Structure 1
């Protein structure tokens, strides 16, 4: 029988990277309990420098001699980013997929009595292991559960890079009839062939059997099996409205004795895509009201527990989301199960992100991570699409990029033809780019009004895309702004990090989606603030502050309640601006966020106004505050009864509270306006000369010539002393740099640089 026991305790850990630890006991160590990461502090803005390196975990495993006849596997939930597993000094297995589960067969290396398990985990940069570069912390560690799996000689396949060894596929035949296909493989590791049986039983949520079947197998080695039947009028898995799940019970028996079993939940549903009607779930169009999620949590990094995941799910359900983009990698299997059980449609993806490998143009690691993601998450009914790339053209967009994306798309469809394929483009991917024909669904990460352009440009861009691609389903895969809830303003503006600007930004986005039926919806970036070790902005170090909720999940920003007002059916009222306590202007606008259509607003217990309508954002203009404390209260009314209320205290003060203003670090003039040193008065025309270097060559190519390198350093020497430069120079060109606001390159400068490169032969 399949037996699984946690091996999370009694691990010794050290940051000292000594190869001898494969077989020798650690010299100096600390005792840790898994899940564990060594970046729980420095990966989220702690005082110590962000540590990336190879570390070791070690523990003993005692096996009774009489039990050695069983089959043992070590199941490691994830090892970030590269893991090597040694048993009694011998390399037993490895993983180069830092977000996927992997198993190691132990029997060839085990002995009776004590066995030494040594695991080297390495989160250093490796040009052939994705992600290479991204705006989040690459946490190192054994940050998910480790289990000891014990099996009989005859069992479902546990070494096909999947999870269950069994794959369930449902598809609609129309008229309420669904085909259910169950495929898998049984492995016989004994020395003799036997006759066996695989049995399947499908039960509904109440425990009643709705289908069962049996297959006899001649088990000499590995044998595949397939069951197919029609399920008539099943109760549908209907998203957040009704996430109904059946349970399939799979068993392997020999001479009537059970040798292995699986228990897998499955929902029956149809999902269609339309460029005009959006996502269609079970025949009904729905707008994707989505959030993105990273897997870390304040103070613990990505070594999160089931309790952390359940809290995240509670908050996501509270905000009223109906879909989650689980970015930018494979998440813990338990969280996919939570999405199944609560009806959240899931976009699952691999970390083929930002820049491709220069050492492996075939991106074989991306393929490996894709295979593991799809096989391990295949049985989760919540997943409706597989993501094959995120902003992979941030530094380079070439034919090789296209070839790789196409290959990943083809591979996805071979592994799972029952779901859609999606990609998330950076805004710089042109509307008419051939990339937009590769996948069933196209997402764009759009930050108009934060990194570029104005807030209103979001709608303009989406309209332009739809005109160019009227048959391509499109949504916004990321939108958001960094927000520190200690900052506030009467006149919010770009990159002031105030709650008020975040509220304004998201209100525009939600209205934009609502007004355009052809936009399938959007995914807020991000549901929670998350660790990004190399960041230092918005008054916080080591964090991306675009969350609707703070990284420790203790504070819901006003934009959280804005989304809730648009998405949730649970009646509520919320007064925005409650942390903007000290008000120095006499006249103040009071903002109420609510999904109720009858509100009463009070100032110091006197009725101020009655509000009616379905605006979601209600404003009471020009409220005169008295000196000192002012108590604002709002009541939500249903059938003349107060069913919801909220209140806040504002204090009228004489002068502006300077603590509400984010003061950006002073930059020296040569950094801010470095281009002022150069003559930009030319016509701006770019002329390329055959056989010479150009602004389209990678920085690494320019560095092959001392003359071309000197030209680059003349203009961009001030940009080279940072991790981003080192990681991207193999794929980044000057022309591509000009598309990124980070570099602040005037377009007129490109022709000036090109003229200098035109006299340097390759």
Structure 2
């Protein structure tokens, strides 16, 4: 009979990378409990440098001689980013999919008594393992649970890169009828055929049998099985309104005895896409009110427990989302289960992100990660789409990129025809790009009013896309701004990192989506602040601050309550600006965020205003503060229930300087570094056949001593950037000129090209 037990304790760990540790005991080590990462501090802005390299984990496993006849598998929840597993000094298995679960068969290497498990985990840069480059920390470690699986010689296949060895598919037949398909594979490790019974049963919440079937099989080494049943008038899995789940029981019996079994939850639902009506769940159009989530947590990195995930889900449900984008990689299976149970539609994806490999032109690693994601998460009813790329054209857009995306799309449809395929483009991808024809659904990561453009450009861009591609369903796959809740301003502006600017930005975005039925909705980037080791901005080191909630989950920013006002059905009132305590202007505007239609606002117990309406932001303007504490109270009235929120404001003579983000001043030669060169030419770019050009990759320029010298002459100051080595295989000077970070004028491109025109390839 199948048994699973945790192996999370008694692990020795060392950062010393010695190949001898595959068989020998670690010399200097610390005892750790899984989940564990060695980047829990330095991956989120700690004092130590961000450590990337190979480290070792080791523990002992005792096996009784009498139990050696069983089948043993080691299940590793994830090893970031590359893992090699050794049993008693022998390589037993490996993984190059740093966010996926993998298993290792132990029997060929086990002996009676003590067995040494040694696992090398490596989060170093590898050009053939995704992600290569991204704005988040690549945490190293055994950051999910490790389990020992024990089973008999006959069992469901646990080594097909999947999770259960059993796959459930529900398909609408119309007229409140659904077809349930159950299929899988059974492994028989006896040397002879064995007769077995495979039984399938579906039960409702009360334990009543809704459907059942069985089949007698003569089991060979590998035997496929399949059932097909019709379910009439099931209670639907209806998102956050009613996430009803049935339970399927699948078992294998030999001579009447259960040898292996699975319990899998499943919901019956239909999801359709329309370029005019949006996402249609069970026949009803819904607007995607979504957030994105990274899996790390303040102080523990990505070595999170179920308790951390439960807390995340509680906060996510409070804000009222109906969908979540689990970015930019496969998440813990437990979190997908939470989404099933609480009704969140899930966008699940792989880390084919930012830049493609220059060595693995077939993208074998992306293919492998996609297969594991789909097979391991296949049975989660909450998943409505599989994501195949995120901003992969940020540095280069080539025919090979197109082929890879198409390959991933084709593979997705081969593995799962019951769900949609989606991608997330950087804003620079043209509305009529061929890329947008590859997937069922197109997302754009749009940061108008933060990295480029103005806030109002968001609506203009979406309108232009719909005019250009009226039949392509589109949503905003990321939008957000970095925010430090310690910073505040009466006149919020781009990149001041204030709560007030984040509130302004998100208010515009939510209104933009609401006004456009053809926009399926959007996903806030991000639900929580998260680790990004190479960042240092907004007054915080090592973090991306675009979350609605801080990385430690202790503080919900004002924009959290703005989203809650738009999305949640639970009545509440909230006073924005509560951390902007010290006010240096006499007159102040009071903003109330609420989903209630009747409110009263008080100042020191005196009624300021009584307001009614369907607005989500009420504003009382020009409130005069008095000396000392000013108590502001708001009441939301609904029938006989009153919801209350309060804050205190204190007038001061001068602006509180701690509210202002002081940016590090750049010297003039850094800001206008190109002023050192003669830019008096006509700005025309002429290419010469057979010579190097600004369109060649930096890596190609480096193959010729003179071409390399030209690059270093103009861009030597950029080579110490941590992203330089990662991107030089795909980045060209021309592509650099499209990125605001480099500030390259057209005239300089002309000057550089003239110098390259005299260097033959």
Same fold by TM (over 0.5)?
yes
Q: Which residue of 1 aligns with 2:216?
A: 216
Q: Please state if 1:728 is matched with 2:727.
A: yes
Q: Which residue of 1 aligns with 2:267?
A: 267
SS of 1:654's equivalent in the other structure is coil
Tell me the CA shift for residue 681 of structure 1: 4.5
Partner Cα distance (2:89, 2:561) in 1: 55
SS of 2:504's equivalent in the other structure is helix
Kept in 2, the 8 Å contact 1:483–1:546? The answer is: yes
Q: Which residue of 1 aligns with 2:619?
A: 619
Partner Cα distance (1:131, 1:558) in 2: 32
- TM-score (norm: length of structure 2): 0.99
Cα deviation per residue 1:289-330 (whole Å; 9 max; x = unaligned)? 000000000000000000000000000000000000000000
Cα deviation per residue 1:573-610 (whole Å; 9 max; x = unaligned)? 00000000000000111111000010000001100011
- Within 5 A, what are the aligned runs for 1:219-234? 219-234=219-234
Q: Which residue of 1 aligns with 2:237?
A: 237
Kept in 2, the 8 Å contact 1:74–1:146? The answer is: yes
Cα deviation per residue 1:479-500 (whole Å; 9 max; x = unaligned)? 0000000000000000000000
- Within 5 A, what are the aligned runs for 1:470-619? 470-619=470-619
Kept in 2, the 8 Å contact 1:474–1:519? The answer is: yes
Q: Please state if 1:91 is matched with 2:91.
A: yes
SS of 1:715's equivalent in the other structure is helix
Q: Which residue of 2 aligns with 1:719?
A: 718
4+ long deviations beyond 6 Å: none
Partner Cα distance (1:744, 1:255) in 2: 74
Cα deviation per residue 1:369-408 (whole Å; 9 max; x = unaligned)? 0000000000000000000000001111000000000000
Q: Which residue of 1 aligns with 2:178?
A: 178
Cα deviation per residue 1:28-55 (whole Å; 9 max; x = unaligned)? 1100000000000000001111101111
Partner Cα distance (1:188, 1:96) in 2: 28
Kept in 2, the 8 Å contact 1:84–1:121? The answer is: yes
Structure 2 unaligned runs (5+)? none
Q: Which residue of 2 aligns with 1:753?
A: 752
Kept in 2, the 8 Å contact 1:428–1:739? The answer is: no
Partner Cα distance (2:245, 2:439) in 1: 29
Kept in 2, the 8 Å contact 1:167–1:184? The answer is: yes
Q: Which residue of 2 aligns with 1:76?
A: 76
Partner Cα distance (1:699, 1:715) in 2: 12
Partner Cα distance (1:431, 1:279) in 2: 20
Tell me the CA shift for residue 753 of structure 1: 2.2
Tell me the CA shift for residue 755 of structure 1: 2.5
SS of 1:162's equivalent in the other structure is coil
Q: Which residue of 1 aligns with 2:698?
A: 699
Q: Which residue of 2 aligns with 1:653?
A: 652
Q: Which residue of 2 aligns with 1:344?
A: 344
Q: Which residue of 1 aligns with 2:282?
A: 282
Cα deviation per residue 1:116-169 (whole Å; 9 max; x = unaligned)? 000000000011000000000000000000000000000000000000000000
Partner Cα distance (1:684, 1:270) in 2: 56
SS of 1:723's equivalent in the other structure is coil
Q: Which residue of 2 aligns with 1:435?
A: 435
Cα deviation per residue 1:620-651 (whole Å; 9 max; x = unaligned)? 11111112211100000113x45211000000
Partner Cα distance (2:142, 2:133) in 1: 21
Tell me the CA shift for residue 65 of structure 1: 0.4
Tell me the CA shift for residue 748 of structure 1: 3.7
Structure 1 residues 683 and 274: alpha-carbon distance in aligned structure 2, compared to 1, 3 A threshold: farther
- Within 5 A, what are the aligned runs for 1:49-64? 49-64=49-64
- TM-score (norm: length of structure 1): 0.99
Partner Cα distance (1:416, 1:300) in 2: 35
Kept in 2, the 8 Å contact 1:635–1:642? The answer is: no
Partner Cα distance (1:220, 1:189) in 2: 9
Tell me the CA shift for residue 58 of structure 1: 0.5
Partner Cα distance (1:521, 1:121) in 2: 39
CA RMSD across the alignment: 0.9
Structure 1 unaligned runs (5+)? none
Partner Cα distance (2:460, 2:744) in 1: 24
- Within 5 A, what are the aligned runs for 1:104-119? 104-119=104-119
SS of 2:346's equivalent in the other structure is strand
Q: Which residue of 2 aligns with 1:4?
A: 4
Partner Cα distance (2:642, 2:680) in 1: 66
Partner Cα distance (2:748, 2:521) in 1: 38
Tell me the CA shift for residue 8 of structure 1: 0.3
Q: Please state if 1:739 is matched with 2:738.
A: yes
Q: Which residue of 1 aligns with 2:303?
A: 303
Tell me the CA shift for residue 181 of structure 1: 0.4
Q: Which residue of 2 aligns with 1:164?
A: 164
Tell me the CA shift for residue 756 of structure 1: 2.4
Tell me the CA shift for residue 676 of structure 1: 2.1
Tell me the CA shift for residue 749 of structure 1: 2.7
Q: Which residue of 1 aligns with 2:367?
A: 367
